[in-house]
């Protein structure tokens, strides 16, 4: 389910008119349906999506006019349905607390009829994507960014800080999105009084105290498995009959499969072949592992290609609001295959970010590796595409957001992990199951309970962070020995399941490394320029897209004209082939113009 809600006044039209347009903007599948209804202080709307596969209503009405709508997939130890029925009858203060007592990913809007107040309560971390616009005399919420612009709540105006983060990180940093006036809610609960235009908001969960003395040997795998096992059991309450695990060759999806097998949950698996990654090992080993662990309905499929693949990339960008440079991400191919599924999809987001952790020894070291200086290649690409004024605003805005985020999380390895999680994980990774896949299937993502995070986030991240996945291996060797009998494959290469040396795996990694660096030989520092500059093939799909917008850009009738470098020409003037640098600049222009089209409702999945 997706949400749209307006309380108070956000413009010249009625709240219901805004909400109706905001809901329609979030419809993706032909079977999606919309419900919109007035409340005395505004209007609430929902887009019915994949919750149809579950038995728990996510829209609940009370006996005295109260209304509760919930997006996402919350859990409550198998007692979610009666708990939601209790909440909808509560007074504001009681509901404000009760809505924080669920696990899983969710965002809830509650209208209290007697007190004439509205609540917005997300999950404790802000896993579930939910966005907000604060107007002078009102407030609006929606599950997708495009809902605000297509719905007429805000104009299509790019936020420089959001676009600065897109250029440098590939996702937003902080709360500001790429659309000016729209922010991401990250774990803050809100109470709004429309009559007095009074908004209060607060975080209700804090990061646990740092347990710096914890040693690797002291990490309790029993406690970790208990947390995940309880969440798997809690998801059963939804009664979804058709369940599929997105099965790669990595550590996280294999971990989820082991949990599901232990719980004797019937499961199918889907593995997608990434041909350019270790010769397709990403999908093939995932398929082998599923069969090895007894999954009868295990599927191995090719990635979509050709024109179908290009369209799938556009669909992915529409569904995630062009919030990441998705055309270059394999996840768009996975998303295309998920569209053909039904029921529930299980995904290993949480173990992938917690049982091994992205961090560094301190923030300065981490940010130095990102190369955020204005002389970096990323900013040079941006300088070619964007106007000078907008470029400077982007650079200033993203730096201000980085400073603000550093102040929230600290400068040590804990701070780096928390910075990465609150920004990269919430805005680039978890949006895949919770925002994109959720259009078609119910996303089940174990590892989203406060109980688990209170424990795992207290452990020194550098104790867990390692390229060898020590904590994963400890769990597999102690509890899931059969899962060690098939090699793993991650972005670092192939790994023997038991951690022992394998001449065959070492040889394959060596050959792949040779091929990898040969394909990228022109980018090798110092010596890359000595290699012949083989032609880089241009993407005709992107060229066709830019060609369609060319006349509007030249006439200055395109809404993005004020932010684009008028001297930049995407058309190739040096012959049939284009250089690598020009392709990157064209891609950035494509993302910006594609974003404008999505925010205006011109580019859709329909």
**Residue 468 in this model has a pLDDT that exceeds 80:** no
Report whether pLDDT(575) > 60: no
Q: Please write the tens of the pLDDT for every residue from 250-269.
A: 999 999 999 999 999 999 99
Does the pLDDT of residue 573 top 60, yes or no? no
pLDDT confidence of 469, banded at 50, 70, 90?
confident
Mean pLDDT, to the nearest integer, of 348-362?
Answer: 95
Q: At residue 345, does pLDDT exceed 50?
A: yes
What residues make up the domain containing 593?
A: 540-600
Which H, E and C letters describe 333-385, residue by residue? Answer: HHHHHHCCCCCEEECCHHHHHHCCCCCCCCHHHHHHHHCCCCCCHHHHHHHHH
Q: Given 486, 519, 552, which residue is the final one in a domain?
A: 519
Order of strands across the sheet with 243-246?
A: 298-302, 268-273, 243-246, 344-346, 442-444
pLDDT tens digits, one per residue of 148-180: 999 999 999 999 999 999 999 999 999 999 999
For 541-566, how does the pLDDT look when each residue is reduced to its tens digit (9 = 90+)?
898 999 888 878 777 778 888 899 87
Please tell me the predicted confidence (pLDDT) of residue 516: 63
End position of a domain, from candidates 415, 448, 481: 415
Same domain, 438 and 405: no
Query: Mean pLDDT throughout 294-313?
Result: 94
Would residue 420 count as lying in a domain?
no
Same domain assignment for residues 15 and 130: yes
Q: Is residue 176 part of a domain?
A: no
**In this prediction, what percent of the chain has a pLDDT beyond 90?**
80
pLDDT band at 532 (very low <50, low <70, confident <90, very high): low
* 294 SS3 class: coil
- The verdict on 198 and 134 lying in the same domain is yes
pLDDT value of position 577? 38
Rounded to an integer, the average pLDDT of 223-227 is 98
150 found inside a domain: no
pLDDT (tens digit, 9 = 90+) per residue, 50-85?
999 999 999 999 999 999 999 999 999 999 999 999
**CB 54 within 8 Å of CB 240:** yes
Burial of 163 (0-12, 13-18, 19+ CB in 10 A): buried
- Greater model confidence, 22 or 494: 22
Tell me whether residue 539 is exposed, middle or buried, using C-beta atoms within 10 angstroms of its C-beta: 0 to 12, 13 to 18, 19 or more: middle
For residue 8, what are the β-bridge partners? 138
Do residues 99 and 231 both lie within one domain?
no
């Amino acid at each position: 389910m997706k949400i749209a809600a307006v309380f108070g006044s956000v413009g010249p039209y009625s709240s219901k008119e805004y909400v109706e347009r905001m809901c329609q903007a979030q419809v993706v599948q032909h079977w999606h349906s919309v419900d919109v209804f007035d409340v005395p202080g505004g209007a609430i709307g929902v887009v019915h999506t994949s919750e149809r596969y579950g038995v728990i209503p996510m829209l609940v009405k009370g006996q005295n006019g109260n209304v509760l709508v919930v997006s996402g997939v919350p859990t409550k130890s198998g007692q979610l349905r009666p708990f939601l029925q209790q909440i909808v009858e509560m007074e504001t203060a009681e509901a404000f607390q009760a809505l924080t007592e669920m696990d899983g990913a969710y965002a809830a809007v509650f209208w209290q009829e007697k007190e004439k107040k509205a609540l917005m309560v997300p999950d404790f971390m802000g896993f579930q994507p939910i966005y907000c616009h604060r107007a002078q005399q009102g407030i609006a919420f929606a599950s997708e960014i495009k809902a605000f612009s297509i719905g007429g709540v805000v104009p299509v105006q790019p936020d420089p800080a959001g676009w600065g983060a897109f250029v440098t990180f590939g996702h937003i940093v902080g709360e500001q999105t790429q659309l000016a006036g729209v922010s991401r809610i990250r774990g803050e609960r809100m109470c709004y009084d429309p009559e007095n235009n009074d908004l209060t908001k607060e975080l209700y969960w804090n990061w646990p105290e740092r347990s710096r003395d914890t040693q690797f040997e002291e990490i309790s795998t029993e406690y970790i498995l208990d947390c995940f096992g309880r969440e798997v059991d809690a998801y059963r309450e939804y009664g979804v009959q058709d369940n599929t695990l997105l099965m790669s060759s990595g550590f996280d999806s294999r971990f989820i499969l082991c949990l599901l097998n232990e719980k004797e949950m019937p499961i199918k698996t889907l593995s997608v072949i990434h041909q350019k990654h270790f010769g397709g090992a990403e999908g093939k080993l995932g398929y082998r592992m599923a069969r090895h662990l007894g999954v009868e309905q295990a599927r191995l499929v090719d990635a979509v290609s050709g024109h179908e693949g290009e369209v799938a990339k556009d669909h992915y960008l529409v569904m995630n609001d062009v919030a990441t440079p998705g055309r270059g991400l394999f996840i768009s191919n996975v998303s295309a295959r998920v569209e053909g599924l039904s029921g529930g999809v299980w995904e290993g987001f949480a173990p992938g970010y917690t049982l091994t952790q992205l961090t560094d020894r301190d923030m300065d070291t981490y940010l130095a590796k990102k190369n955020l200086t204005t002389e970096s290649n990323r900013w040079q690409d941006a300088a070619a595409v964007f106007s000078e004024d907008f470029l400077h605003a982007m650079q200033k805005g993203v730096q201000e957001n980085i400073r603000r985020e550093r102040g929230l999380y600290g400068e040590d390895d804990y701070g780096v992990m928390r910075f990465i999680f609150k920004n990269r994980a919430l805005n680039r990774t978890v949006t895949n199951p919770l925002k994109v896949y959720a259009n078609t299937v119910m996303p089940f993502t174990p590892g989203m309970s406060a109980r688990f995070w209170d424990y795992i986030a207290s452990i020194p991240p550098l104790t867990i962070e390692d390229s060898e996945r020590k904590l994963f291996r400890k769990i597999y060797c102690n509890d899931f020995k059969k899962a060690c009998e098939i090699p793993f494959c991650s972005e670092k290469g192939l790994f023997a399941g038991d951690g022992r040396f394998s001449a065959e795996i070492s040889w394959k990694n060596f050959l792949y490394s040779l091929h990898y660096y040969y394909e990228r030989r022109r980018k090798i520092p110092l010596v890359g320029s000595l290699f012949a500059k083989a032609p880089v093939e241009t993407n005709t799909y992107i060229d066709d897209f830019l060609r369609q917008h060319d006349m509007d850009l030249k006439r200055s009738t395109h809404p993005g004209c004020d932010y684009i470098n008028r001297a930049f020409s995407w058309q190739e003037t040096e012959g049939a082939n284009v250089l690598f640098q020009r392709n990157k600049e064209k891609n950035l222009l494509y993302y910006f113009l594609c974003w404008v089209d999505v925010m205006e409702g011109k580019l859709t999945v329909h």
